[in-house]
Amino acid sequence: MLVGHATWHGGALCLWAERTGPDEPVPGVHPFATRDFSGTSYEPLVRGAFRVELTMSLPTLAGRPLPSAELGPGPVDDEPELRAWRVPALVLEPFPAMALLQAAEHSGDVVAGTDLRFLCLLAAEAVHLAGRGQVLPALLREDGDLVARWRPVAADPARFRALAAAMPAACRAADGGRPAAEVLREALHGMVDTAVRGVVPHPLLPLRRGAVPDRLPLAERWVEALTGPSAGVAREPGDDPGELIAELDAWAAASHRPSGPLRVCFRLAEPGAPEFDPAPESALAPAEPAGRSGHDDADTWRVEFALQGTDDPSLYVPAALVWAGEAASIPGAGEALLAGLGRALRLFPDIAPALDGPAPDGLVLDTAGAFRFLRQAAPMLAAAGFGVLLPQWAGKARLGMRLTTRPDDPESAAGAAAPSGFDLKGMVRFRWDLAIGDETVDEDELEELARLKTPLVRLRGRWVELDERQLEAALDFLRHPRRGRMTAAEAIRAIVHAGDDALPLTGVDAAGTLGDLLSGEAERRLTPLRTPDELDAELRPYQERGLAWLAFMNDLGLGALLADDMGLGKTISILSLLVHEREGGARPGPTLAILPMSLVGNWQREAARFTPKLRVHVHHGTGRHRGGELAAAVAAADLVLTTYGTAARDAEALAGIGWERVVCDEAQSLKNSGTRQARAVRGIPARSRIALTGTPVENHLTELWSIMEFANPGLLGPRAAFRERFAVPIERDGDEQAAQALKRATRPFVLRRLKTDRSIISDLPDKQEIKVYCNLTAEQASLYRATVDDMLAQIAEADDKRRRGLVLATMARLKQVCNHPAQLLKDGSRLPGRSGKLERLEEICAEVLEQGEKALVFTQYAEFGSMLQPYLAARLERPVLWLHGGTSKQARDDLVQRFQDDPVPAVFLLSLKAAGTGLTLTAANHVVHVDRWWNPAVEDQATDRAFRIGQTRDVQVRKFICVGTLEERVDEMIERKKALADSIVGTGEEWLTELSVAELRDVLRLSPDAVSG
């Protein structure tokens, strides 16, 4: 097995691989590393690559580098250290490097490591920037030579910072490591340059075939180098590149985002639209103009110039009002407008004629010019920080395909969906149409559009973007059969895979049982299945509907994703299905449930409680059955429970058994599709598969692809195609059409209900979240200031290699200070009277116990929990249970049972990482987060240990925050910019390492109100 790795070093992609079964070790050389890709899909792409040996700083334990996650490393007891290893690698030329990065993630014989996957993501980013025209040419001096390069237009700083924070350390581990931002900038620039050269034709190609004059001007040699295979610009005597470099640098500077309170804004007005609508909402989102003149065929478009507030876009002042003197209340309005238009001229040269006059207020364009503005100028201007306002139809009203299906037997169209009487092999009648929105387009109209040869056309009262590629796709569509019969299974596949960017699938109209399935509302349309007689519980109405849906999907042989919110009873839903299918004496094959280790005991208990007649076998631990014993144990069982780790280790044995179904609980464990664990689970054959998860997408849409690839292999196509078609357009561009297409493709196979939906569950109590603000003691404040001052002093003198480690170490120290000085000092000193958090925690726990109730207390630090447990037990004179990563499975189960069953009020102290998922602790109706993980999803998962079905009381959730510290400022950031917080805090605190010293000082500073009086 080979795991591909890559780093960006020396301006190039350096590739190496990690393997199992190393050769005889050589001192100082990575024992698992190789650069031999013979016999793999990488071989043609690396042929002729330059061979090097890199020195890389890698995590090391017991004198050996730790294997990567893709090789399934086991737990480690000690803290790894960074150590330099010599790694044989290949240096790829730019074009083979880009080709490999675009193919690596769907290679079947080399598993991409996290570092290589990140660089694949970066390559896609570069291709995206090049495709949208967000690039500018440059002339640079590199090692004394002149080179022509393409550079990306200044991107959103938050996007850049999020990418830098997400960069795996291995991407920059060569030669002791470099700052993530530096490596990211260098790699992105190199990939953008390659991406542009791969698609831009060479304008001087004929000249290079013999028609080149003896001496071309420098500017023409630069253009030739921009589009040729070599970036070098030939030098001639007398060349003075300074003027050209300065001009190009000024052009690049024009793309930088403005920092003042005002920015220039460009509004595209279609023919017949009023020049200016003073209503702010009209200015911000121009609607279809009400008072058209009726000249629909007029070829007159207008780009209106205006000033707009940088922080307050509702401040919108058209240029005509500025020049009329009606913006006197805005200081410097005229100067800001002229300066902005001057910057924009470099990015949007078409406005040059409009700037000839003394009071430029807009630009008149023909239809072709308006289309160029939509497709080319608008994205570039927006990326550079200018305001851009487009008509509401822009990018939305597109030509697409629509599929209509009807049952071949008209009688089957009536009635609700039912598992019986429906067969995926059954025939349906279908018809394909061209449509714009809800309006179909006939062949005559399409031919007229093709005749007009204009990219913007008025069709049935609305403007439509229709470029040549879309027209060709539509005309080709008309050449294929558009009516006929096909199986229901073929119809499902057609809906998932039909359409592309040129001609997307925009609508489906299906009737009968197939329509119920495709609607995503089959659960609501199905007749609920009553609670099975052998189930020792009474299912809630939504669970009876869910059981009918699971049985429906099972009868069809389709995989299912049960994505109910945490706490709605996904486990009992599967147990109900197993009991239901055994009613009447039926004996289906065994079901294999693959679980996190922490859930094995929970499944055992729920099966024993609710389905005591089900035969359950646990396949886990050193004494588990193998070979014939395993086959015999499975044959005697209805339900087999195992863990993800065991399934990966015993994949071959489990794959040799005939399973009725495979169920994966907490299926987000499969989100990284290339890991050994995910591949092993997907390789276990079964008649059907069910994935259970309350968080089908934690960070990226490719996680949904990985889970769906388990449930219905091949349904969403190859991962690379899924990223290109869905993940990138939705995550990066907010593409609504791609989002709708993905929803349409997945909703037949996904059932998701939320606890907050009162139509689903009306008797779940409320959850009240409270922020508890704590002051620091004088000792804490002193330690906090000293820690910040020490870090800032060291950073001021440190090189870039040390900066990252200093910031992260300081973050950990400051969070420990906010908890308690003894946690930072590790001196075993006394606890009382030294921490505002501890004092408040003690008060809250005492109040909870006095009320006869129970509380869960979460901390992310096991060492702090070990300090708190004996202290709180002594002060409260009540049991304080303590569960952490070192707690054995049996002890964990005993603690949970004791807490749930013992009527004595108690406090359960838990490590957030070890106990944040997989436990039912509804005996508690209070949850306290002593220190923050700074990822809302992780905290919500921990809170849902108590806030779930079985909870009969309102749940109070308290989140501790130290006033005036980094805890308060990061919490404010999460609340203020939730979407950005998800991309930043999802990777921990690493985003802080890229801040300047001044920015760090502002985030970490201690406010005067932090210390208690």
Between CA 810 and CA 808 the distance in angstroms is 5
Token pair recorded at residue 365: 């364009």
User: What is the 3 state secondary structure string of 33-76?
Assistant: EECCCCCCCCHHHHCCCEEEEEEEEEEEECCEECCCHHHCCCCC
Is pLDDT above 80 for 819? yes
The answer to whether 634 and 640 are in contact (CB under 8 A) is yes
Mean pLDDT of 736-760: 78
Shared fold status for 528-751 and 767-1010: yes
Between CA 778 and CA 796 the distance in angstroms is 27
Q: What is the pLDDT of residue 367?
A: 83
Is pLDDT above 90 for 216? no
Q: Model confidence over 13-42: pLDDT tens digits?
A: 999 998 876 556 778 888 888 999 988 889
- In 3D, which of 547, 503, 556, 510 has the Cα closest to residue 529? 547
Of 136-140, 473-477, 796-800, 844-848, least confident by mean pLDDT is 796-800
Residue with the bigger pLDDT between 73 and 512: it is 512
The answer to whether 625 and 556 are in contact (CB under 8 A) is no
Between CA 194 and CA 199 the distance in angstroms is 9
Between CA 33 and CA 174 the distance in angstroms is 14
Q: Residue 423: pLDDT band by 50, 70, 90 thresholds? A: low
Q: What is the pLDDT of residue 311?
A: 72
Which contacts qualify for 548-551: CB closer than 8 Å, 24 or more apart? 548/419, 548/523, 549/522, 549/523, 549/751, 550/574, 550/577, 550/690, 551/419, 551/577, 551/580, 551/581
Is pLDDT above 60 for 57? yes
Q: What is the pLDDT of residue 160?
A: 77
Is pLDDT above 60 for 335? yes
Is pLDDT above 60 for 419? no
- What does 696-727 look like in DSSP terms, one character per residue? S-SS-HHHHHHHHHHHSTTTT--HHHHIIIII
DSSP letter, residue 759? T
Between CA 68 and CA 893 the distance in angstroms is 31
DSSP letter, residue 11? T
- In 3D, which of 941, 911, 905, 929 has the Cα closest to residue 837? 929
Q: What is the pLDDT of residue 990?
A: 46
Between CA 760 and CA 754 the distance in angstroms is 7
What's at 344, amino acid-wise?
A
Q: Residue 255: pLDDT band by 50, 70, 90 thresholds? A: low
Q: What is the pLDDT of residue 710?
A: 92
The b-or-e profile of 796-811 (16+ CB within 10 A means b, else e) is eeeeeeebbebbeebb
Is pLDDT above 50 for 994? yes
- List the end-to-end C-alpha distance of the chain, in Å, as a whole number: 62
Q: What are phi and psi of 18, to 5 degrees?
A: -115, 140
* Per-domain boundaries in the chain: 2-197, 262-389, 399-519, 528-751, 767-1010
Mean pLDDT of 579-603: 88
- What does 794-843 look like in DSSP terms, one character per residue? HHHH--HHHHHHHHHHHHHHHHHHHH-HHHHH-S----TTS-HHHHHHHH
Of 109-113, 597-601, 1002-1006, least confident by mean pLDDT is 1002-1006
Q: What is the pLDDT of residue 929?
A: 93
Q: Model confidence over 646-688: pLDDT tens digits?
A: 999 999 999 999 999 999 998 888 888 878 888 899 999 999 9
Residue with the bigger pLDDT between 232 and 989: it is 232
The b-or-e profile of 641-674 (16+ CB within 10 A means b, else e) is bbbbbbbbbbbebbeebebbbbbbbbbbbbbbbb
Is pLDDT above 50 for 297? no
Between CA 568 and CA 572 the distance in angstroms is 9
Query: Which numeric CATH code is attached to 767-1010?
Result: 3.40.50.300
Residue with the bigger pLDDT between 747 and 918: it is 747
Token pair recorded at residue 524: 């609501």
Q: What is the pLDDT of residue 249?
A: 72
Token pair recorded at residue 1005: 């500073």
pTM beyond 0.85: the answer is: no
Token pair recorded at residue 810: 């300081």
Q: Residue 499: pLDDT band by 50, 70, 90 thresholds? A: confident
Token pair recorded at residue 997: 């010293």
Between CA 882 and CA 629 the distance in angstroms is 38
Q: What is the pLDDT of residue 204?
A: 38
Token pair recorded at residue 41: 């899909």
Between CA 101 and CA 431 the distance in angstroms is 40
Token pair recorded at residue 765: 């109590």
Treating both helix axes as pointing N-terminal to C-terminal, what angle do 736-746 and 488-497 enclose, rounded to 10 degrees? 160
Question: For 378, how many CA atoms within 13 A lie in the half-sphere containing its CB?
Answer: 18
Q: What is the pLDDT of residue 690?
A: 95
Q: Model confidence over 531-574: pLDDT tens digits?
A: 999 999 889 888 998 999 999 888 888 899 998 876 678 899 99
Is pLDDT above 50 for 279? no
Between CA 418 and CA 428 the distance in angstroms is 17
34: β partners: 17
Could you tell me the CA-to-CA distances from 270 to 34, 296, 392 in Å, in that order?
A: 60, 10, 11
Q: Model confidence over 68-110: pLDDT tens digits?
A: 867 755 555 667 788 889 999 999 988 889 889 988 866 778 8
Between CA 377 and CA 303 the distance in angstroms is 11
Between CA 668 and CA 697 the distance in angstroms is 8
Q: Where are the alpha helices (DSSP H) in 290-442?
A: 319-323, 333-347, 367-372, 378-383
Strands (E), 447-549: 456-459, 462-465, 483-487, 505-510
The answer to whether 403 and 430 are in contact (CB under 8 A) is yes
Q: What is the pLDDT of residue 305?
A: 92
Token pair recorded at residue 1006: 């201690």
Mean pLDDT of 232-236: 74
Q: Model confidence over 945-966: pLDDT tens digits?
A: 888 777 788 888 999 988 888 8
Is pLDDT above 50 for 991? no
Highest mean pLDDT among 21-35, 195-209, 282-296: 21-35
What mean pLDDT is reported for the chain?
79
Token pair recorded at residue 86: 């010599």
The answer to whether 743 and 129 are in contact (CB under 8 A) is no
Q: Residue 216: which H helix or E strand, with range? A: none
- In 3D, which of 421, 559, 444, 435 has the Cα closest to residue 509? 435
Q: What is the pLDDT of residue 202?
A: 45
Tokens 């990482």 found at: 913
Query: What percentage of the chain exceeds 70 in pLDDT?
Result: 81
Highest mean pLDDT among 251-255, 303-307, 972-976: 303-307
Q: What is the pLDDT of residue 1005?
A: 75
3-state secondary structure of 621: coil
Neighbours of 402 (CB within 10 A): 20
Between CA 901 and CA 923 the distance in angstroms is 8
Between CA 185 and CA 172 the distance in angstroms is 12
Q: Residue 203: pLDDT band by 50, 70, 90 thresholds? A: very low
What's at 969, amino acid-wise?
R
Q: 329: exposed, middle or buried (C-beta count within 10 Å: 0-12, 13-18, 19+)?
A: exposed
Q: Residue 883: pLDDT band by 50, 70, 90 thresholds? A: very high
Q: What CATH number matches the domain at 528-751, 3.20.20.60, 3.40.50.10810, 3.40.50.2000, 1.10.390.10?
A: 3.40.50.10810
Mean pLDDT of 151-163: 71
